[in-house]
Structure 1
Amino acid sequence: MRTYPFVTLDVFTDRRFGGNQLAVFPDARGLSDAEMQALAAEFNLSETTFVLPPEDPANTARVRIFNRTAEMPFAGHPNVGTAFVLADRAREGRLRFEEPGGLVEIELERDAAGAVLAAIVAAPQPLTIGAALPAGPIAACAGIPPGGILTARHAPTLASDGGNPRVLLEVTPEALAAAAPDHAAFRRAVETLPALGGRLSLYLYRWDGERLRARMFSPLSGTPEDAATGSAATPLAGFLLSLTGAEQQALEILQGVEMGRPSLLRTTARRTGGGIRATVGGGCVPVLRGEALL
């Protein structure tokens, strides 16, 4: 029998049982693709990560991220949590993870004693803005009336910066509170809206003073609602910057409140010669340790 140690963490929080849960296998050598997917499904968390030696020794590790049903090219909270686990491998305060979505650079913030306070993840690609989508089918997916979507600034819009594309939509406070994913409407949208490419994740947000409140639904990939979604927060930060004339901005996003797992995601976005680049950062708390038996 083979044994594989793992740890679990709560990410984008400073306390246990808040934030978004993550499982990390610090040494996944010998695991097959099918075994990684099976373990991710067994943990039944939004994501599980598997750490392998890097292909380029200049980098820290090769990191593979699986949700309940498939491998992901990039995701935010898995990188934050994995960075905490691998913090002792950092060179000059930085980690570099090889992922299908590109090379992910992570900066660690430490206190005076050297303990890690936060990990700041740079999205591996510049912002890509995709198709604008009709409000009616998207509202149906979120279980809200079409009038709950605000379109003065933008229509529901696909965007990505290395992860799976997300549909970004601004909603009223009432709609954000009442929203609930409608699985049948998600399936209809995927079947009837070719721009989605066969997959659909919604990132709903509203302004709350200078901060954003957000929720994320992705039921077709096994996550009806996510407590903290870094790979949606970074394209949102970049997309909102693209709607202004500013060179850069920083935004805090509060997510997971409706699930009882409040999460705080700190984002930045800036214009560069190669497009708009974004980061997301936050804290992390270890929760469990154990071994998988295979």
Structure 2
Amino acid sequence: MSRTFRYVTLDVFTHRRFGGNQLAVFPDARGMTDAEMQSLAAEMNYSETTFVLPPADPAHTARVRIFHRTAEMPFAGHPNVGTAFVLADRAVDDVLRFEEIAGLVEIRLTRDAAGAVTSATVAAPQSLKIGGEMPVEIAAACAGIPPEGVVTTRHAPTIASDGGNPRLVFEVTPEAMAAASPDIAAFRRAVETTPALGGKLSLYLYRPEGTGLRTRMFSPLAGTWEDAATGSAATPLAGFLLHLSGAENGAWEITQGVEMGRPSVLHTTARRTPEGIRATVGGGCVRMFEGSVTL
């Protein structure tokens, strides 16, 4: 017996169409199998697609499953922002709570005077976790830049996460930021020679720009050659920068996706808590398409 499922697509971390990071949301995925979800995410060919299910705890808004082209993810930033826009009518006091593999994710909505949602801010579900360091030569090779393009004044290339996939975070020069292009052979060599990576590697390059940050993210082994906006990399970066600074709290505006022609703006915060450093990421969103698929 065939089943029909509605979907919505959005551009996330932008206030204009054809910017930001693309996302597909299936607002009611009841009856869909895991294999169907994965196949649909691959077919959509966006960096992520979300599938909304009833929550295990009725006090929560929904259970949200996030898939990229090849696997399910425990947490991600722009899928939560976009899904919150789609499910905004389910918010209680402008707060939604999504059950995800990484834990309970809280999203807070901001509205304009007319009541329209203008932004959504996602709290990373876990505190900052700092992993090991990677040699500059390996990180640079993966990014397709010379080793001197990696800035090590404050830190070496370092693995950081807060509920999503771990990201290798490192600062680069303006010239290296512009020239970076992932070398998939170098990525494969890196995961083969570094068992601690568990076969996964995502690079998050950053550099200061004005009062904010400019970033690029590469994850070719997961099917994302470059990502236009990566909330689950922006939050550990914010947390890591706060860790380095020694301050109690901080905020950074991050610009990403410029080199792809899909400029995105991510607003991040980080603060110290008794449980560790916690971070948030937020931004705007624009609806694009609506449709349905019959399985």
TM-score normalised by L of structure 2: 0.99
5+ unaligned residues in a row in structure 2: which ranges? none
The aligned residue for residue 72 of structure 1 is 73
1:227-262 Cα shifts (integer Å, max 9, x gaps): 000000000000000001210000000000000000
The aligned residue for residue 252 of structure 1 is 253
Residue 141 of structure 1 and its aligned partner are, at CA, apart by 0.4
1:92-142 Cα shifts (integer Å, max 9, x gaps): 110000000110000000011110000000000000000011010110000
Looking at structure 2, the residues matched to 262 and 292 of structure 1 have their Cα atoms a distance apart, in angstroms, of: 29
The aligned residue for residue 276 of structure 1 is 277
The aligned residue for residue 84 of structure 1 is 85
- Letter of the 1:293 counterpart: T
Match status 1:5 vs 2:1 = no
5+ unaligned residues in a row in structure 1: which ranges? none
Residue 36 of structure 1 and its aligned partner are, at CA, apart by 0.1
The aligned residue for residue 215 of structure 2 is 214
Residue 210 of structure 1 and its aligned partner are, at CA, apart by 1.1
3-state secondary structure, aligned to 2:245:
coil
The aligned residue for residue 205 of structure 1 is 206
Looking at structure 2, the residues matched to 120 and 246 of structure 1 have their Cα atoms a distance apart, in angstroms, of: 22
Looking at structure 2, the residues matched to 53 and 193 of structure 1 have their Cα atoms a distance apart, in angstroms, of: 39
Looking at structure 1, the residues matched to 133 and 293 of structure 2 have their Cα atoms a distance apart, in angstroms, of: 43
Looking at structure 1, the residues matched to 247 and 189 of structure 2 have their Cα atoms a distance apart, in angstroms, of: 38
Match status 1:189 vs 2:190 = yes
Looking at structure 1, the residues matched to 77 and 131 of structure 2 have their Cα atoms a distance apart, in angstroms, of: 20
The number of equivalent residue pairs is 294
Looking at structure 2, the residues matched to 139 and 289 of structure 1 have their Cα atoms a distance apart, in angstroms, of: 41
Residue 197 of structure 1 and its aligned partner are, at CA, apart by 1.9
The aligned residue for residue 178 of structure 2 is 177
Aligned alpha-carbon RMSD (Å)? 0.5
The aligned residue for residue 131 of structure 1 is 132
3-state secondary structure, aligned to 1:243:
helix
- Letter of the 1:124 counterpart: P
Give matches, 1:1-294, under 5 Å.
1-294=2-295
1:53-80 Cα shifts (integer Å, max 9, x gaps): 0000010000000000000000000000
1:206-226 Cα shifts (integer Å, max 9, x gaps): 001211000000000000000
Residue 194 of structure 1 and its aligned partner are, at CA, apart by 2.2
Looking at structure 1, the residues matched to 229 and 293 of structure 2 have their Cα atoms a distance apart, in angstroms, of: 25
Q: Structure 1 runs of 4+ off > 3 angstroms?
A: none
Looking at structure 1, the residues matched to 246 and 6 of structure 2 have their Cα atoms a distance apart, in angstroms, of: 48
Looking at structure 2, the residues matched to 233 and 101 of structure 1 have their Cα atoms a distance apart, in angstroms, of: 16
1:118-175 Cα shifts (integer Å, max 9, x gaps): 0000000000000011010110000000110001100000000000000001000000
- Letter of the 2:43 counterpart: E
Looking at structure 2, the residues matched to 211 and 239 of structure 1 have their Cα atoms a distance apart, in angstroms, of: 15
3-state secondary structure, aligned to 1:130:
strand
